[in-house]
């Protein structure tokens, strides 16, 4: 049943924090490596592959703040994800 599969997947993501997931999938040795995001392209690829709905907007806001050092207010998780992707790509926001 698709709904049950989605619930199980959401449960897995809840166990692994967004920042931990980005760091692990980007090959960062330490969570703090995300602050400098040594490989912005790699981080971008990982973030692009994460569904915004996997985490609540608050978690995405925290990731933006941690990775960029800026405090932003977003209404949706997708908005925060897209902002972070633009920031990592070097576009002025």
Nearest CA-CA partner of 53 in 3, 5, 6: 6
Structure tokens at 1: 């049943």
**Structural element, H or E, at residue 12:** helix 2-15
Quick one: pLDDT at residue 90? 77
In this prediction the pTM is 0.77
Using the Cα atoms of residue 55, residue 14, residue 31 and residue 45 in order, give the sign of their dihedral.
negative
Q: What is the pLDDT of residues 4-22, one digit of tens each?
A: 343 334 444 555 799 999 9
Quick one: pLDDT at residue 91? 57
- Highest mean pLDDT (candidates 1-5, 10-14, 32-36): 32-36
Backbone angles phi, psi at 61, to 5 degrees: -60, -45
Nearest CA-CA partner of 47 in 18, 6, 71: 18
């Amino acid at each position: 049943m698709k709904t049950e599969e989605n619930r199980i997947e959401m449960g897995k993501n809840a166990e692994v924090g967004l920042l931990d997931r980005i760091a692990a999938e980007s090959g960062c040795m330490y969570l703090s490596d995300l602050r400098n995001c040594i490989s912005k392209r790699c981080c971008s690829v990982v973030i692009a592959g994460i569904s915004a709905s996997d985490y609540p907007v608050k978690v995405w806001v925290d990731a933006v703040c941690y990775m960029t050092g800026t405090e932003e207010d977003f209404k949706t998780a997708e908005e925060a994800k897209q902002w972070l992707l633009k920031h990592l790509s070097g576009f002025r926001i």
